[in-house]
Amino acid sequence: MAAGAGLRFLLLALHVAAAWAALPLVVNTWAFGKATETAWRVLQMGGSELDAVEKGCAQCEIDQCDGSVGYGGSPDESGETTLDAMIMDGNTMEVGAVADLRRVKNAIGVARKVIEHTKHTLLVGESASMFAVRMGFPYEDLTTPKSLSVYSEWLNQSCQPNYWKNVVPDSSKSCGPYKKTEKVVCKEDWTSSQRRISIHNHDTIGMIVIGESGTVASGTSTNGAVHKIAGRVGDSPIAGAGAYADSTAGGAAATGDGDIMMRFLPSYQAVEYMRMGTDPTVACQKVISRIQKYAPKFFGAVICANTTGSYGAACSKTPGFTQFHFMVYSPSLSQPSEQVVDCI
């Protein structure tokens, strides 16, 4: 082998080694470090990428991360806490998801069972709860003194804010029950989410795990928007919206105002940008910018990672939300690392 060719081969080998040295990788939304650490530990013990996503998100369900994941948070307008979750295998493209899950705490665990024991993708409501019990999950009360207090305070404030429009009585001044008005104004108020949603009442854990060989898995878990209309489902359990995984390209996960974000399939779009060679940070920024064309002040963020271990994030700047915090764990780190990006 000529000296020049040998040098080029060595440099290529070093480049490949450096790229794979960034794997395995765990990335998740918000400063939920315990969830990151749990997922990493699963990988280190020989667990699969799906195992890591499931256990990492389940850690947040147990810890009630920010009151926006798991039981005892975000009561709907009837005072009940319900859960949404999904998990996706980037090798097989299988998805398991549950939405409006009632009286079962381990939503991401139930979502995993949808993959393992059904030919379906998404189960919802009371039927999802019945499925969970058949899979061995116990019925448990998701209400806590804190969630009851949040609900009671909301009632005392004339049910403000809420998610109704074009109804009587005036939903901006009073509680229901509501009836439809004769005249319907169909124009979307894209700024309404700014008043209803904030980083303090609507977060989600979204997680991406990439194994040493580049295998990708992703997942989400949330209790949804506080004071949501009963039965509401946001972006979190919807494949391509809340999260997406494809072992030929990468993974992504979203957090924020799901009613707006799910309309744009941001996680799917981010993965497709990465498939075309776009840097993960730029991929995240592009999907945020796309939504901002319609909803300039929407609240939301996206995390992205490709199969070489590169990662990034982006968020939409809105009053009270100018930076987004997310967690990363990789072989170059001795512990979960909290990362921060400025919103655009």
Report the catalytic residues.
204
Q: Tell whether 235 is in a known binding site.
A: yes
* Alpha carbon distance 65, 78 (integer Å): 22
What are the residues whose beta carbons fall under 8 Å from the beta carbon of 137, sequence distance 6 or more? 104, 105, 106, 109, 110
Q: Tell whether 290 is in a known binding site.
A: no
What's the one-letter identity of residue 285? Q
What's the one-letter identity of residue 260? I
What are the residues whose beta carbons fall under 8 Å from the beta carbon of 191, sequence distance 6 or more? 295, 297
Phi, psi (deg, nearest 5) at residue 63: -80, -5
E strand map for 138-275: 167-168, 179-180, 205-210, 216-222, 243-246, 250-256
Residue from 55, 53, 102 nearest 224 by CA: 102
User: What is the DSSP pairing of strand 205-210 with strand 216-222?
Assistant: antiparallel
Residue from 300, 293, 334 nearest 317 by CA: 300
Is 218 in contact with 206 (CB distance < 8 Å)? yes
Is 245 in contact with 91 (CB distance < 8 Å)? no
Is 70 in contact with 105 (CB distance < 8 Å)? yes
> What's the length of the chain?
344
> Three-state SS for 83?
strand
* Alpha carbon distance 299, 313 (integer Å): 14
What's the one-letter identity of residue 338? E
Is 44 in contact with 73 (CB distance < 8 Å)? no
Q: Tell whether 189 is in a known binding site.
A: no
Q: Tell whether 234 is in a known binding site.
A: yes
* Alpha carbon distance 22, 214 (integer Å): 10
Is 163 in contact with 202 (CB distance < 8 Å)? no
Binding-site entries for substrate: 232-235, 255-258
